[in-house]
Amino acid sequence: MIQRTKTPRCKWCKNSFTRTRPGDVCCSVECGIQYGMKAAAKVRKAAELEQKKQTRAQREEMKTLPVLRVEAQREFNRFIRLRDAGKPCICCGKLPQSDPLTGGQWDCGHYRSVGSAPHLRFDERNAAGQLKQCNRDGAGRAVDYRIGLIARIGLAAVEALEADNTPLHYTKDDLRALKAHYKAKTRELLAGRG
């Protein structure tokens, strides 16, 4: 039986050629140089990407608890604003006139403030969409907030929030997990609306 050998094609110019040595992949020195430069650039780019990945991981590892808390809080607030988009302000009942995703006139207000009850900062029952003038200028408007919160989640849930004084300390991993969790929930809400 006669075995046909396949004519090799140059890796650079794609022309057929006859090998002068085993393992030749290019038809000429010029094509070999071009092909080698392209392969070297590919290896360099992969090494740069790996270096960037390592640098990013190192930066993430160096973040302090306060920085991670701010990042997690930002994602949580974004989720609450988006979750409550289309609902009236928890305090005054007015609808905001801006995009809930970027904020604008819309805040994520906490019933029990983050300063007085830091253990409830990521409790979804304790947060709701609130107009900025009610949250910042009106100092949270706690009485009106409570009335609106009772209407949304019920008196028993509000009393449970008011009675909750369990200390809770977040680790770096907890805060990273919270950030990822609320980022995913925000994406889910956006996908459901889009």
Q: What is the pTM of this model?
A: 0.72
85: helix, strand or coil: coil
pLDDT of residue 75: 96
> How many CA atoms are closer than 13 Å to the CA of 139, on its beta-carbon side?
2
Mean pLDDT for the stretch of residues 1-13 = 77
Q: Does the structure show a pLDDT above 90 at 184?
A: yes
Q: Does the structure show a pLDDT above 80 at 66?
A: yes
Q: Does the structure show a pLDDT above 90 at 138?
A: no
Q: Does the structure show a pLDDT above 80 at 173?
A: yes
pLDDT of residue 21: 85
Domain regions of the chain by residue span: 25-62, 65-186
Q: Does the structure show a pLDDT above 90 at 49?
A: yes
The number of beta carbons lying within 10 Å of the beta carbon of residue 18 is 8
Band of pLDDT at residue 95, cut at 50, 70 and 90: confident
Contact criterion met (CB below 8 Å) for 8 and 19: yes
pLDDT of residue 122: 95
